Every structure is written in structure tokens, then in C-alpha cells.
A and B are shown apart, each in its own frame.
Chain A
Amino acid sequence: MVVMPSRLPWLALLAAVVLALVVHLQADSALPFWAGMPAWVLMFIVLQAALTLIAAWIARP
């Protein structure tokens, strides 16, 4: 199956959303803390950065 290039960022977005839901599902305050923040929140911050990159990908001409 050939995936159209313009669909790829949207597939990446779908993956990011699924990953966000999985991270939330596993989120627990007993998880390790880094820099004063629970690990799962830091993962969400990474996902937020990924979302920004995906937005930039979608925005490409």
C-alpha cells in the first residue's frame, strides 16, 4: 500500500494522540520524579514538542 506523502503528518498526529492516551493511562504519581515533575508529565511535554513538529510538517508547502 502506498501512503500519500501528504497523509504522513496526519498519521504521525494520530500516533501522537494514541501515545498521549497511553501515557495518561499509565500515569501514576508513584512514577519517578525528574526536575521536580512526574515522569509522565515530562513525557507529555515531549509529546507537546512532537505536536509542534508535526504542525510544522503539516505547514510545509
Chain B
Amino acid sequence: MSTTLISALVALVAYLLALLWLGAQSLDGQTNSADSYFLADRRLRAGVLFFTLIATNFSAFFFLGFAGAGYRIGIAYYPMMAFGTGLAALSFGSLGCRVRRLSAQHGLITPSELIGHLFPGEGVRLLVLAVMVLFTLPYLALQPLGAGYLLESLTGGAVPFEVGAVLLTVVIVLYVVGGGMRAVALTDVLQGILMFVLMLMAFVAVAKGVGGVQTANRTLLQQLPDLFSGAGRNDFFTPRMMASYLLLWPLCLPMFPQMLMRFFAAGDDRSLKQSMVLYPVVAGVLFICPVMIGMWGHLAFPDLVGRASDQIMPLMLGRYSPAWLTGIVMVGALAAFMSTLDSQLLALSSMLTRDLYKRYWRPQASLAEQVRVGQLVVIALAVAGLAIALRPPEAILSLATHAFSGLALLFPMLVGAVYGLRWSVVGAMLSVIGGEAVLLGFAMGVIPQVFQGGCLPLIPALVVACMVLGVDYVIAQCLRPAEA
């Protein structure tokens, strides 16, 4: 048995046991209420809130995908992601504080309940529920898929993909069912710290292996100067694409139900604002590590093509870092997978329980019953996610790639309403439906690509969504004097 495999297995067992122990710790002080289970009694403060925001947002794509993108595109990927994420974090201290206060004042638990508070009737809240579930479920299914493959490659095939995906999902289900948001937040602290420390260790080890940052970059500049250009290799980041991405992150991040619910769970405004200030620092420091490791991959593995480049992180660790470190760092990638999956499971479970089961099926359901149903829904979602992961249909994968844009289209309607703009129900619904229809049109090739104008399809879709809201606002202004 190799040193890498032994260290990986030891780290993996220790990590999974630590998760279960933290899950057990979270049972202390748990009351049998929906607020307690889904929102940790709205008491997440400073450090815990910060780490849960980090761990929920940074999926395994940060570990593996960033390095792959660094290999394929170059250094240009770093400022796009770091600056975009920093911009997105500004919503924590602005939108987040407002949402937190609204939800605490009115006892709101899910994003749909927030919408229900802002709009009369059922239409908008059901639409938002449908959009959030539709775009989060496929993304959720990708997590066990990736985790299973990672565990398989980490153990050299000793743990097959299916066994790995099931094992990791079972551990997550155990602590999410047992401790709800409290367990998710506590485990996020561990997972966030692991991600941070292990990524820095990986960077130092690989940088040392390639002869230092300066030497490696100067060598690469001679061989592949495009890696250091603003547009990246193959002119990936044209100025319009860069602007599109800088708009995408701030719009989509707060619309992920799992992120929005962290605003609900925050203990006070101060904690949200502290997270807002720290977030750009962490993104700025951390994101450069995997991107540069990916770029340096050209020095040792110059022939990777397409998706094969997403393996560049384990390949580089295998080549340049001590064997014991390779296994441990890959456990950090698993932590990134799991910290996103557990939050998605809990967010979707709360929405399906509160917004469907309680609202339409059993309005008289007690708080304890809601918790029990929520736990069952976590299990059902995990099983559904696993089923999709073991046999992923093409449509699901395609939907997952549009999840970010699909959720971002909720932003103008939802944020406008939170800030007091009184859209009509019809205007709000048409804005979301119109935007999503444009997105779908581009995805299916019904709308010619030329209408994207060199931007992401999100941009024309967003223009349509905002135009609908603009017309709705003007009509409301015109009708107001007549009503008076």
C-alpha cells in the first residue's frame, strides 16, 4: 500500500469521524422546532457564520475546477473569480442584513416565505420555489457524483465510485438529519478551515517543486505567453465576457437558496458585515493558489486536453508534493464537496417541507412534525441525488450548467421587492418567466447566438427581465394618480 493511499485513508477516516462527532455535538441545545432545525435558532454569529458562508459557496470546483481552468485559460481566471466573488460578498452586509431583519420579524424560514411576505397570492412564491428547486437539484446531484469519482481516484480504485458516493452521502445525511443547520454550520467550520489550510499547503508544496513562483512563471511566459494575457488562452475572456462574469457572481450568489438561508440564520447584522469584509480577502488569497497550480501543470503535463485538465491538481500534487500530503489535500477537496452538498440538502428540505408540505398538504403540522418531515425529505433528496449521480441524464447535467444564470434572473425581482419596489404579481412573474425563457432559448439554440452580443446568455435574459420590471413600474406610476 502506497504512502499516498495510507495517508489518504487515515485522513479520510479521521475527517469523517470528526464530522460525525461535530454532528453529535450539535444535538446539545437543539429544540424540536423548525427555527431550530432549519436555521439554528437564528444564532449563527461571526466566525461560524463566516465559515459556513465560505464552505457553502466554495464547492469542490474551487479545488479541482479552478486548477483545470488555470490550465485551460490561464491567470485571467483568477481576477475574474476573486473580484467577482468579492463583489458578490457585498450582498451579505446590504441585502443580507435587510433579509435577516425581515425574516426574524416575521418568522420567515424559507426564500419562498420571504417572497410570500412581499407579494400577495401564491403565484410568485410558487414560481420562485420552482426555479430554486429546478436549478439547485441538478447541482446537488453533481456533488455525490464528483465526490465518488474523487474518492475512487484518491484511493487508487480501492473504494469504487458507487461505494464512495454512497458512503459520503450517508455520512452527510446522518449529521444533517440529526443536527440540521446547527450541525451543517459546525461541520462547515471544520471543512472551511481544512479547505483553507490544505490549499495553502498544496500551493507551497507545488511552488517549491516547480522551482518557485518566479522561476516557474518566467519559464511559462517563454513557452505559453497567452497564459498570462488578460483574455487567456484562445481569447476566452473577451472584455464582454469578463464584464458578464463580474455581473453573474454578485447576482447569482445571494440567490442560491442555501446562501439566502444563511442570511435568515445570521444572529445579527454585525456578523454578516464582518463576513462581507473578510470574504474578498479570503477569495483574493485562496483563489490564486489552484489557478497557478493549474498553470504550472503545463510544465509537467503539457498534453492534457478538455476535461482531462480538471485532473491537474491531483496530478501536480502526485508529481511535486510529498506523498503523505497528496492524500490529505484531496480530503480537503472532499470537504469542499460535502460542505456544499449538506447545505443544499438542508435548504431544499426546508423549502419542500414548509412551502409544499405544510402550506398545501398539512397546514396544521406542528413544529415537531415539520422537523420530522424535513428529516425525511433530507433522506429522500439524498437518495434522489445519488440515483441521479449514479446514472446522470444528459438533461440534468445541462440544467446544472445553467444553474447560476437561472438563479441570477431572480435577483432583480427579489431584491427590488426587498428594497421596497412594489412590483405587481404579474410583472414579477413575467420578469422571471421572460428571463428564463430567453435563457432556455439560447440553451436550446432557438435564439441565435448573435443576440448574446459576445456576452454570456445571462445578459440578454437579464435585460428582458429588467425591461419587464421597468414597464411594470411605469404602468404602476401611471395608474397611481387615477386610483387616487
Residues of A within 8 A of B (CB): 13, 17, 20-21, 24-30, 33, 35-38, 40-41, 44-45, 47-49, 51-52, 54-56, 58-59
Contact = CB atoms under 8 A, between A and B. Distances in A.
Contacts of A47: 79, 83
27 contacts: A13-B87, A17-B87, A20-B83, A21-B242, A21-B246, A27-B76, A27-B229, A28-B229, A29-B227, A33-B221, A36-B218, A38-B228, A41-B75, A41-B78, A44-B78, A44-B79, A47-B83, A48-B82, A51-B87, A52-B277, A52-B284, A54-B90, A55-B279, A59-B93, A59-B273, A59-B274, A59-B277
Contacts of B215: 36
Contacts of A30: 225
A26 B230 contact: yes
Nearest to B75: A41
B284 A45 contact: yes
Interface string B189-231: 0000000000000000000000011111110010001111111
A33 B276 contact: no
Interface residues of B, number: 41
A23 to B, nearest CB: 8
Interface of B: 75-76, 78-79, 82-83, 86-87, 89-90, 93-94, 212-218, 221, 225-231, 237, 239, 242-243, 246, 273-274, 276-277, 279-281, 283-284
Chain A, interface SS category: helix
Contacts of B83: 20, 44, 47-48, 51
B230 A48 contact: no
Given A13-B90, A17-B87, A55-B89, A41 B79 contact: yes
Given A36-B217, A36-B218, A44-B83, 5 more contacts: A20-B83, A30-B225, A40-B230, A55-B93, A55-B276
A6 to B, nearest CB: 11
Given A21-B246, A51-B83, A27 B277 contact: no
Nearest to B214: A36
Contacts of A38: 75, 228
Contacts of A55: 86, 89-90, 93, 276-277, 279-280
B208 to A, nearest CB: 14
Q: Tell me which of B79, B215, B217, B218 has the highest count of chain A C-beta atoms within 10 A of its own C-beta.
A: B79
A9 B305 CA distance: 44
A27 B230 contact: yes
